[in-house]
Amino acid sequence: MKTPIIAFLLAFFPGGGLLYLGKIRGLFYTLAVFGIPFLSFIMYQWTAIEPFIVFALGGLLMYIINFVDTVVTASKLIRTNEGASHTTSANPNFESERFFTIILSMIPGLGHFQLGLMNRGLTLLVSFFGLGAMVVFVTGLAGRGEFLIFLALLPVIWVYSFFDGMQLLNKKQKGEELVDRSLLEDFETRREDGKKSKAIATLLSIFPGAGHLYLGLQRRGVQLMAAFLFSIYILDVLHLGIFLFLVPIIWFYSFFDGLQKASKLGIEPLEDTPVISYFINNQKWVGIGLVLLGCYYLITNILLPVFSPIIQEYFNVDFAYWFSRYFQITVVCILLIGGGIKLLSGSREKTRDKEASE
């Protein structure tokens, strides 16, 4: 007996699902999806006429039609199987319900609608598309491409929605009663019960600091989130592309630290130890750093645009060019040298203390 779910999965390869169902037209979809873009490319190489590139989109259109055709054909197969097994199966609609729930779960929330969970499905649907629209809107409004990094949360919502739908489907087909609760109500219930989910903590750890905040590690989570976002912003503003390697280092450290904390949940108490305790114990230097950063933005955004034309007119010196060309590099060099001296002096003091103790 052919399985509609397998047919749907095979449909990701053009024509594969229909060939599995014994439909010869599946071969047509295979040739069309791969053949149309290939012929369009050959014609473009020979004629150098750009409109032929448009025909390459025909392959994508045929790919979508292949999916629709496979779903329609598989749904007919479900009705045939239900009619054949109606006398032997107590619940012949199980296969149909599972098939349509899996297909609809490709869009967050629709699979929950299929299960009759309107509140939960609406929460996931609005969260997915609302977050995407908000990120694009803020990025266009602010003109800063860095905000697009928040689109990384969309796959997290999609994966959670899909597996949540599959879990609820299994519960329903086992005869368990489903409660139509939104995600916020779920979180509130877990908070009142004093329980936290390791799975949710793991998913949230994909974004630096979010998993720690969910686990109640406020100081550690805020530090990791601030370090990640602040490093992206500062490196972009100061045009320090050489230090971009710090961004993936912070991400990997935060992700695996979040996994480690989630694995200890319920086994041992979690301590909210800050990642860098130096800044907490030396708030004076943090304040000095913020003051210097504020002065830097005051100079670059207000004083420099106002006085640079005056200096160039009277002294024939392009102060804005010299400032942007050498000042930032000088500051970075001073910070690197100062940090190196600080580390060297600290290691010497530790060596002296060790020798004195011996």
Domain borders along the chain are 1-93, 297-357
Structure tokens at 343: 């580390």
Structure tokens at 88: 């032997």
In the chain, what is the greatest distance between 2 CA atoms, to the nearest angstrom?
99
Per-residue pLDDT tens digits for 45-71: 666 555 555 666 777 788 888 888 887
Q: State how far the Cα of 168 lies from the Cα of 180, in Å rounded to an integer.
A: 10
pTM for this one?
0.52
Q: State how far the Cα of 273 lies from the Cα of 257, in Å rounded to an integer.
A: 12
Report which of 228, 212, 227, 226 is spatially closest to residue 272, judged by C-alpha positions: 212
Q: State how far the Cα of 1 lies from the Cα of 291, in Å rounded to an integer.
A: 73
Structure tokens at 217: 């590690």
Tokens 């002096």 sit on residue: 345
Q: State how far the Cα of 228 lies from the Cα of 73, in Å rounded to an integer.
A: 48
More confident residue, 121 or 354: 121
pLDDT band at 89 (very low <50, low <70, confident <90, very high): very low
What percentage of the chain reaches a pLDDT higher than 90? Answer: 0
Q: State how far the Cα of 80 lies from the Cα of 86, in Å rounded to an integer.
A: 10
With a cut of 70, say whether residue 93 has pLDDT above it: no
With a cut of 50, say whether residue 102 has pLDDT above it: yes
Per-residue pLDDT tens digits for 143-182: 767 677 778 778 878 888 888 888 888 888 788 888 877 7
pLDDT of residue 87: 47
- How wide is the angle at C-alpha 132 spanned by C-alphas 255 and 11, nearest 5°? 85
Contact 202, 183 (CB under 8 A): no
